[in-house]
Amino acid sequence: MSFPVLYLRKGAERRLRAGHLWVYSNEVDIRRSPLADFEAGAQAELRAANDKPMGTVFVNPHALICGRLISRNSGQGMTPQRLTDRLETALALRQRLFDKPFYRWVFGDSDGLSGLVIDRFDDVVVVQISTAGMELMKESVVRAVQRLAHPRAIILKNDGKMRKVEGLDTYVEQAHGREIDLLPVEENGVRFEVPMEGGQKTGWFYDHRMNRQRLQAYAPGKRVLDVFSYVGGWGIQAACAGATQVTCVDSSAGAIESVHHNARINGLDNIETIEGDAFDALKALAEEKEKFDIVVLDPPALIPRRRDQKAGEEAYARLNQLGLRLLDRDGLLVSASCSMHLSQEKLTDIIRSSGRKIDRFVQLLEQGHQAPDHPVIPGIPETDYIKSCFVRSLTGFL
């Protein structure tokens, strides 16, 4: 295949050679290859400043990440067949990992499909496209999913924030089959139903699967507080594992309604809910002198951009202090983060500092990571974003 050429500035190829897959607009030699000459979503051959071929990229001249590597072979572009082959390779991993078809099928760059996320919910598949290049492959994506999984429904949930950055419209579309009101989910032996209308992202977060499974080992006989509960992923699983009482906190009335629905379908009658801001709810519980054996903190990304680092770290610190205050003498704090800009080490240090400020002796028992259907590419730190700390908190111990 023949492609137009996108030239890099001198030295800009180093990060790509080290394993990264993105090209930033300030790394392009716009004298030799003006970005304005490329259409959004076009494919191009990428070359270093010395004219050495680097591979093939999707180009978007309007985005900060203006190039996304498709292949390190400059003669290979993204064709419907190559797309299908990569979807099949990704599917083979998930089928090896999980005995039931509930998983993240495609995790963007980690599966060689930058800008594409696919979640599978048994025979319902939800697709999210976030880049101009992948948007042009939309019909090929749908055909490949049909061929490989034969789902009864395929939903294009293309309403994410990244689409605006790429200059794309947002929409939700039923690409195949009849409309779905509730997504069926099964995780760690527990059933959920998640509403498509108003649901977050694809409707479910498989990334904390293994951490929620670990929580089950600590839950029997305990009183649990699940903060930022969404539809009850942590709390419902804790209750099914034997927690005596679970309180779920979320600001969304729809999410709270889903918590009660998911409690019912699992035959649970020990779930309470609090609708409201998490920080306000935690303060109110502390004022009421409530205590819990386990507190789970799984907030949305409190550091969405690098410039939010300081404010976000302060928010994590406030949150962890509030969570620790609500624990009984020998309690467990599960502190989670999906902020790419917050390292595991920094989260651990925030917990250490929070414990010292309120005079708690804390023991780090376990550190969790994202589930293997969210593989990390070592050369792309952005693919490594989930972390969790299981921390035992003791009062009056030392």
Report the range of poorest mean pLDDT among 188-192, 369-373, 392-396. Answer: 392-396
Distance from C-alpha of 382 to C-alpha of 65, rounded to nearest angstrom: 13
Res 63 pLDDT > 80: yes
Buried b (16+ CB within 10 A) or exposed e, 58-79: bbbbbbebbbbbbbeebeebbe
Mean pLDDT confidence for 232-239: 98
What pLDDT does residue 201 have? 72
pLDDT of 324 higher than 70: yes
pLDDT score of 199 more than 90: no
User: Residue 397: its pLDDT value, please?
Assistant: 76
Binning pLDDT at 50, 70 and 90, where does residue 306 land? confident
Q: CA of 44: how far to CAs of 50, 95, 162, 220, 321, in Å?
A: 17, 33, 22, 56, 50
At 130-144, the pLDDT tens digits run 999 999 999 999 999
Predicted confidence (pLDDT) at residue 396 exceeds the cutoff of 90: no
CA pair distance 229, 276, nearest whole angstrom: 11
Residue 144 amino acid letter:
A
How close are the terminal C-alpha atoms of the chain, in Å? 69
> What CA–CA distances, in Å, run from 166 to 129, 131, 132, 175, 251?
11, 6, 6, 22, 30
Q: Residue 198's pLDDT band (boundaries 50, 70, 90)?
A: low
The single residue listed with the structure tokens 């996108």 is 6
Distance between CA atoms of residues 94 and 26, nearest Å: 37
Residue 384: is its pLDDT beyond 70? yes
pLDDT > 90? residue 356 = yes
SS3 394: strand
Tokens describing residue 133: 């290049």
Phi-psi region of 383 (alpha: psi -120 to 50; beta: other; left: phi over 0): alpha
Q: Give the H or E element holding residue 153.
A: strand 153-158
Contact in structure between 209 and 187 (CB atoms under 8 Å): yes
Q: Which domains does the chain have, with CATH numbers?
A: 5-71 (2.30.130.10), 80-180 (3.30.750.80), 184-395 (3.40.50.150)
Residue 160 pLDDT class (50, 70, 90 cuts): confident
Does residue 223 carry a pLDDT above 80?
yes
What pLDDT does 196 receive? 85
Contact 57, 46 (CB under 8 A): yes
List, in order, residues 6 or more apart from 93 with CB less than 8 Å away: 372, 373, 375
Confidence at residue 364, expressed as pLDDT on a 0 to 100 scale: 97
Report the pLDDT averaged over residues 226-248.
97
Computed over every residue of the chain, the mean pLDDT equals 95
Give the residue with greater pLDDT, 306 vs 240: 240
Q: Note the pLDDT of residue 202.
A: 78
Q: How large is the average pLDDT for residues 363-367?
A: 97
